[in-house]
Structure formats: C-alpha cells, structure tokens
Amino acid sequence: GIGLAELGAVRDADVLANSTSVGMNGDGCPVQDDVDLARFRVVFDAVYTPLKTTLLQRAEAAGCTIVTGDAMFLGQAEAQFELFTGTKAPEGVMKRALHGAS
C-alpha cells in the first residue's frame, strides 16, 4: 500500500481501496480533492456507515465502479458463521438483517 501523500503520483492502478475509518459517519474523505478518481476503474471503501461515503460518491460521479463496505462486512460475517458453526451461512439472511437494521 501507499500513503495518501503518494496517491497523487500513482499513474497505473485499476483499483483504489480505502481501509481507514475516514469517512465513517460522514466525517470526510480520505482522498484529497485534487486527486482525479476517474483514472481508477474500481473504488472500494471498507467503511459501511454511511453506505455511500463521500469517497464513493466522488468516485461514482467520476464514472468509477464502486464497491461499498457492506460487501466486505457481510463476507467476513458469513465466513465467521461457517467457521463457528461448521455449516454454510444461510443465503441472504445476514444481508437482509444488515439492510433492515440501517
């Protein structure tokens, strides 16, 4: 990975992934305003509250495919369920519970 200071110098990358807490509860964006997000094909933000963070809103407006943090959250929850119980997680149950709770 690289730090935010080096992000502006990146030229050849398909994916930008934010795994910091910046953006949680709408408290900003981890990427400076002058970074052109259109050069990334996919932007992923591990933050899932709010679902569509400022980073993802900017990326979507720039034409990027966005991946919200709930995908990672649900994936790890299903994997934990399987590890703890030895059975496959029930299809869609956790997703419905997560989105019904928000």
Phi, psi of 45 (to 5 degrees): -125, 120
Q: What is the pLDDT of residue 10?
A: 67
User: Are residues 16 and 57 part of one domain?
Assistant: yes
- pTM score, two decimals? 0.79
Q: What H or E segment, with its residue span, contains residue 67?
A: strand 65-67
Question: What is the total count of domains within the chain?
Answer: 2
User: Are residues 35 and 15 part of one domain?
Assistant: yes
Q: What is the pLDDT of residue 76?
A: 94
CA–CA separation, 35 and 97 (whole Å): 36
Domain-located, residue 3: no
Domain-located, residue 1: no
- Contacts (Cβ under 8 Å, ≥6 apart) of 66: 42, 43, 44, 45, 52, 56, 59, 60
Query: What tens-digit pLDDT sequence spans the chain (102 residues)?
Result: 666 666 666 667 789 999 999 998 777 899 988 888 998 999 999 998 899 999 999 999 999 999 999 989 999 999 999 999 999 999 889 989 988 865
